[in-house]
Amino acid sequence: QLRRLEKLARISDRHQNSLRELSEALKTSALQDPLTGLDNRRSLMERLREESERATRKDLPYGLSILDVDRFKTINDRFGHAAGDRALCAISEAIRRSLRDYDVCGRWGGEEFLVLLPETSTDSAAQVTERIRTNIEQLTIDLPHGESPRLTASFGLTQYRQGESFSETVNRADTLLLEAKAQGRNRVVAG
């Protein structure tokens, strides 16, 4: 009887461990972009909400940048979607390399990325964003037949303003991104 109980306890422990691992895998897939490994939009929205609450509570600034890969459709159309995926992964890595440990970046959607810079002044946020822009511009992605598309990105950069919702901050960054596109792309427009 005791052996049977011990065996049932071992089986129960294995199942609980399996359920824990499955739960962690589901949580990761719910919050992570499968292509780039960055935070996905759902995760970014939660982080924005938390950072806005913290910034309001402690009267701290944060910078917010939205970037869009310039002429990305051309890359997909000319080189194929696999090349587009490689470009997005390379850009993700360039963004990640450009940030500090406590900064947050993620795939906002399609070829758009969002960068959250906690406790960061406007000047410092501009420096970080320019570093990201430069790192993307310097990327090379080797494709078959020796071709390598030039990658650039346009950025809208703003700072959280006390009392506003994070969606107001995001909308302002998005408007500034559109201005960057209209001004000729491959640039940071701040406001």
Q: What is the pLDDT of residues 52-85, one digit of tens each?
A: 999 999 999 999 999 999 999 999 999 999 999 9
Residue 133's SS3 state is helix
Q: What is the pLDDT of residue 63?
A: 98
Token readout for 114 is 């969002």
Q: What is the number of helices (H) and of strands (E) in the chain?
A: 6, 5
CA-CA-CA-CA torsion sign (160, 165, 166, 170): negative
Mean pLDDT by groups of 10 residues along the chain of 191 residues: 85 85 73 94 96 95 97 92 94 96 96 97 96 96 81 97 95 98 98 95
Q: What is the pLDDT of residue 188?
A: 98
**Nearest in space to 152 (alpha carbons), one of 175, 127, 180:** 180
Q: What is the pLDDT of residue 138?
A: 96
**Nearest in space to 152 (alpha carbons), one of 76, 69, 49, 59:** 69
109 beta partners: 112
CA-CA-CA-CA torsion sign (25, 109, 130, 128): negative
The pTM for the full model equals 0.85
φ/ψ of 48, rounded to 5, equals -65, -45
- Give one word for 93, left, alpha or beta, with left for phi > 0 and alpha for psi -120 to 50: alpha
Count of other CB atoms within 10 angstroms of residue 49: 13
Q: What is the pLDDT of residue 28?
A: 67
Residues 6+ apart with CB under 8 A from 91: 69, 113, 136, 139, 151, 153
* Active-site residue set: 111
Taking the mean position of all CA atoms in its chain, how far away is CA 26? Answer: 19
Q: Angle 110-127-122 (CA atoms, 0-180°, nearest 5)?
A: 90
Q: What is the pLDDT of residue 62?
A: 97
